[in-house]
Amino acid sequence: MAEGSKEAVWPLPTVKPNFATWSLGGGRPWGCAQDKCERWHAGVDLTGAPQGALVIAPEDALVVGLDKGWTDGTRAIFLRTDSDLFLVLGGIVAGSHKEFGLTTGARVRRGEKLGRIVGSYGMLHFETYAATPDRMANSRWWKDDPAPEGLLNPANYVERMVGADISLLQTRQRLQALKDLGHYTGDVGAPWNDAAIASLKTAQAALGVEADGKWGPATEDAIQKALQSACTSGSCPTETGDADTSDAPRGALGRLRILGGVIAGVAVAGVTAAIAVTLRRRRPATQEAAP
CATH 2.70.70.10 occupies which residues in the chain? 18-161
Q: How many helices (H) and strands (E) does the chain have?
A: 6, 14
Residue of 286 and 39 predicted with greater confidence: 39
CA dihedral 278, 281, 282, 284 (to 10 degrees): 170
Contact 20, 12 (CB under 8 A): no
The Cα–Cα gap between 284 and 266 comes to: 31
- pTM to 2 decimal places: 0.60
Q: Provide the H-helix boundaries in the chain.
A: 154-161, 171-180, 194-207, 217-232, 253-258, 271-282
Instruction: Check residue 215 and give its pLDDT.
Output: 84
Residue of 112 and 169 predicted with greater confidence: 112
Number of Cβ within a 10 Å radius of residue 173:
21
pLDDT tens, 141-157?
887 888 888 888 787 67
pLDDT tens, 211-249?
999 887 788 888 888 887 876 666 555 433 333 333 332
Return the DSSP state at 88. Answer: E
pLDDT tens, 5-31?
445 566 777 776 666 665 665 666 666
Residue of 101 and 165 predicted with greater confidence: 101
Specify the DSSP element, H or E, that contains 68: strand 61-69
The Cα–Cα gap between 218 and 221 comes to: 5
- Half-sphere exposure in the Cβ direction for 290 (13 Å, CA): 19
User: What are the DSSP calls for 18-45, one per residue?
Assistant: EE-GGGSTTSPPTT--TTT--EE--SEE
Specify the DSSP element, H or E, that contains 116: strand 113-116
Instruction: Check residue 163 and give its pLDDT.
Output: 53
Report the amino acid identity of residue 150: G
User: What is the CATH number that goes with domain 18-161?
Assistant: 2.70.70.10
Contact 74, 91 (CB under 8 A): yes
The Cα–Cα gap between 9 and 189 comes to: 33
- Collapsed DSSP state (helix, strand, coil) of residue 251: coil
Beta partners for residue 127, in sequence order:
88
Instruction: Check residue 270 and give its pLDDT.
Output: 41
In whole numbers, what is the pLDDT of the chain averaged over residues? 74
Residue of 112 and 264 predicted with greater confidence: 112
Instruction: Tell which residue, 134, 139, 162, has the closest CA to residue 260.
Output: 162
The full length of the chain comes to: 291
- Beta-carbon contacts of 213 under 8 Å, excluding residues fewer than 6 positions away, are 197, 198, 200, 201, 204
